[in-house]
Homo-oligomer: A and B are copies of this chain.
Amino acid sequence: MPRIGGVVVHKELKEARRNQILFFAKQVFSQKGYHNASVSDIIESAGIARGTFYLYFTSKRDIFDSLLDEVLKELRQRIRPIDLSPGAPDPLAQVKANIGRVLEFLVHDPELTKILLHQAAGLDERSAAMLQTFYDRVLSLIERSLEHGIRMGLVRPCRTRIVASCILGTMKEVADQLTTQREDLPPLEVVIEELFNFGLRGVFARSATS
């Protein structure tokens, strides 16, 4: 028991230290960008020695990837396929819940959002591939939902791939605005509502008559 306890405490401490460094690296990367952020910046802000950094991460790139992994993993958990089985909640409500879970997380961690939206995009092939994989999965999910919707008569026939891109784009841009703009932020529910309505009905006043 004490032995195990010791090891556990030990592991927890290591984990805690690692998270502490990750926390400061997140700030630094989000503020200065990957390339303009130096390992020196990170260790200074974390208050650790150079060597300590390399005790927990194999390289500057490694710690960046850890952060990127973190966002993507969290987002993957928050984006759930629409459940169409009998007794499942209203599909539209499920869509709205997805939007809510995603935006909630991104707004709650603006640095990670910046890293996802601004830094990871143009870094190199490696991160491009990570993002590609992630966004492709998301797009496929949206596309399939649209196809289901069309079959059910809920969604109007359309080029699902293009429309899926549109929907992804609205999410990205709104998330970006929410994390960049420091003022005039409407309550998150309002944003979600607007986002949802825009995707559902567009901007036209009486689209049915057109």
Binding site for B on A (CB under 8 A): 32-36, 114, 117-119, 121-124, 146, 149, 153-156, 158-159, 161-163, 165-174, 177, 184, 186, 190-191, 194-195, 197-210
Contacts and interface: CB of A to CB of B under 8 A. Distances in A.
Q: How many copies does the complex hold?
A: 4
Contact of A171 (B121, B169, B203): B169
Given A203-B149, A209-B208, A163 B121 contact: no
- A interface secondary structure, majority: helix
Contact of A162 (B36, B169, B194, B206): B194
A118 B171 CA distance: 17
B156 A204 contact: yes
Residue in A35, A161, A170, A177 with the greatest tally of chain B CB atoms within 10 Å: A170
A172 B174 contact: no
A202 B123 CA distance: 33
Contact of A122 (B119, B158, B162, B191): B119
Contact of A200 (B36, B186, B207): B207
Contact of A205 (B121, B155, B184, B186): B155
Contact of A121 (B121, B154, B168): B121
Contacts of A190: 159, 162
Nearest to A122: B118
Nearest to A166: B170
